[in-house]
Amino acid sequence: MAEPFLIGDAMTGGYGAVDILHGCTVAVEKGQIAVIVGPNGAGKSTAMKAVFGMLKLRGGKVRLGGEDITGLSPQARVAKGMAFVPQTHNIFTSMTVEENLEMGAFLRRDDIRPTMEQVYELFPILKTKRRQAAGELSGGQRQQVAVGRALMTQPKVLMLDEPTAGVSPIVMDELFDRIIEVARTGISILMVEQNARQALEIADKGYVLVQGANRYTDTGKALLADPEVRRTFLGG
Amino acid sequence: MDFLNALIAFLNFVAVPAVAYGAQLALGALGVTLIYGILRFSNFAHGDTMAFGTAIAIILTWGLQSAGIGFGPLPTALLALPVAIAVTVGLVLLTDRVVYRFYRRQKAAPAILVIVSLGVMFVMNGIVRLVIGVEEQNFADGERFVISAGDFKTATGLAEGLAIKTTQAITVVTAVVVVAALFWFLQKTRTGKSMRAFSDNEDLALLSGINPDRVVQVTWIIAAGLAVIAGVLYGLDKSFRPFTYFQLLLPIFAAAIVGGLGNPIGAIAGGFVIAFSEVIVTYAWKKVLTYVLPDSLAPDGLVQLLSTDYKLAVSFVILIIVLLFAPTGLFKGKSV
């Protein structure tokens, strides 16, 4: 089998002396959605940060399109076509929606307007609020700004750390729909989700992490159908 | 009762001087607030950066004057200003390179950087005294008044005169131009926006590919430019003395904090709040009140709330009140 487009392979590491990840592997294929789920403290967000280079790995590799990027800084990974939406503090609150998008495209020197139009097509509400300060928007709209900002680099991989944290169920469904649309344009999506059931429904691939290691790995559908996974992680 | 004369006296002794002083404080506070927003520390060396730039401008002015070069009715110091800014920018960037960058790499806490800036302040303090001495320097030349009190009296026939000094007019005009240019830069240009983004959310700015070294560099350049402009305008309007500039640090910080640290609009508003408070509290109101009140109520004393020697206390009191009741300032800056 060919190697996935982006893979964090057998990653081991943590913030201090203690390892949080123990040989954890997460990967995503081109244009697919991979979801990392698991109980609190399983190291989901840490795995995400490790893939993005915000965490020093003691073991394992991160490869993008076959190239080893383990040693690259997060900024260098942005230049390589990766985009990351942190869980919190993921927008410039004092700047307008449009300026947030412009900052997302900071590294680009070409015309960014077509990309901005695409983002507005994806999230029409942002177009009507484009002159408003992003900090004044609702939780769901702020997440749209955050995702929009990340899309402005025209990434090949979009990494989302709990994009639906703190938004209402209706907005959550809406966001998931948008995420599927983004994946259809050929962008790979790797995300961590607290709402495991809904996230696995849209996932091509699901990773269940427990204590920094892979417990179950399968397609989203298969994981949802697995009685063991249902009983232990999805509440029946 | 004579309201018109009272108004003129008020304008002449309170409003006009306070507007000029407020503009100078605002320019100083803008530099402080930019450094705070981007580099995340209170730069105690700002007053002495102003002093250094002004000292350079004065020396250049002497050179120009002895070469017989003037600026017509305007002060010669304005010709020297761009060069003085360039020299000061050089010094500040050098300081950043050899001092601040080291602590930035270590991710030093803001409290440490404040103390570092205190050290830089003492060094600059010394440099200024070595360069120009500790004495008072008056370097304003050119036309002294735009409107002199005598002319105003003959033109209007009023008992009170309204004088507007050239330096006051220049201060206000320069401040307006500089502030407009700064806001245009911050709002409209790519670099300006990246500075605001960096100030708003440093981590996300890095994730967006904004180069922190460049943002820091541009911030120092702008802050140094603002400091020199503020310093030269203050020196022209009043006089230059290294110690006075060191003391200016207090009203400047008070202005920046009253407005909300990190918020440029707040810095401007804060500058005028402090300036008007200082002038109003230390002005002897006898003259104005004598015009306004009936003879029977005319004040005997000077009606001066505070001697001018205590004007620094005004900044202190305002600072304490703001920190107690609205720690983020009038315009919602960052709480310290």
- Express each pLDDT in B7-20 by its tens digit: 999 999 999 999 99
Q: What is the pLDDT of residue B334?
A: 67
Q: Which whole number is the average pLDDT over A66-75?
A: 92
Q: Which whole number is the average pLDDT over A87-108?
A: 94
Planar angle of CA A37, A43, A46, nearest 5 degrees:
110
> With an 8 Å Cβ cutoff, is B188 touching chain A?
no
Cα B246 to Cα B50: distance, rounded to the nearest angstrom: 9
> Partners of B137 in the beta sheet?
B240
pTM for this entry = 0.90
Here the tokens at position A205 are: 């691939």
Write out pLDDT tens, residues A138-189: 999 999 999 999 999 999 999 999 998 888 889 999 999 999 999 999 999 9
pLDDT at B190 over 60: yes
pLDDT at B261 over 50: yes
Task: Give me the interface pTM, i.e. the ipTM.
Answer: 0.88
- Dihedrals phi, psi of B49, to nearest 5 degrees: -65, -40
Q: Which whole number is the average pLDDT over B123-146?
A: 94
Residue among A90, A102, A107 minimizing CB distance to B204: A90
Q: What is the pLDDT of residue B1?
A: 57
Residue ranges per domain, chain B? 3-325
Chain B residues inside the 8 Å CB shell of A153: 208-209
Report the residue of A51, A82, A89, A92 to disrupt the B interface, i.e. the one with the largest count of B CBs within 10 Å: A92
pLDDT at B336 over 50: no
CATH architecture of B3-325: Orthogonal Bundle (1.10)
SS3 B109: coil
Cβ atoms B300, B231 nearer than 8 A: no
Q: What is the pLDDT of residue A149?
A: 96
Distances (CA, A) of B50 to A6, B8, B41: 53, 33, 18
Write out pLDDT tens, residues B82-130: 999 999 999 999 999 999 999 999 999 999 999 999 999 999 999 999 9
- Dihedrals phi, psi of A94, to nearest 5 degrees: -85, -5
pLDDT band at B294 (very low <50, low <70, confident <90, very high): confident
> With an 8 Å Cβ cutoff, is A123 touching chain B?
no
Chain A residues inside the 8 Å CB shell of B332: none
Write out pLDDT tens, residues A185-236: 999 999 999 888 999 999 999 999 999 999 999 999 999 999 998 888 877 6
Cβ atoms A27, A39 nearer than 8 A: no
Q: Which whole number is the average pLDDT over B228-233?
A: 98
CB–CB contact A107 B208 (8 Å): yes
> With an 8 Å Cβ cutoff, is A86 touching chain B?
yes
Residues 6+ apart with CB under 8 A from B112: B103
Chain A residues inside the 8 Å CB shell of B198: none
User: Minimal Cα–Cα distance from A135 to chain B, Å?
Assistant: 11
CB–CB contact B203 A86 (8 Å): yes
Report the residue of B196, B200, B203 to disrupt the A interface, i.e. the one with the largest count of A CBs within 10 Å: B200
> With an 8 Å Cβ cutoff, is B156 touching chain A?
no
Q: Which whole number is the average pLDDT over B232-245?
A: 96
Write out pLDDT tens, residues A112-129: 999 999 999 999 999 999
CB–CB contact B193 A93 (8 Å): no
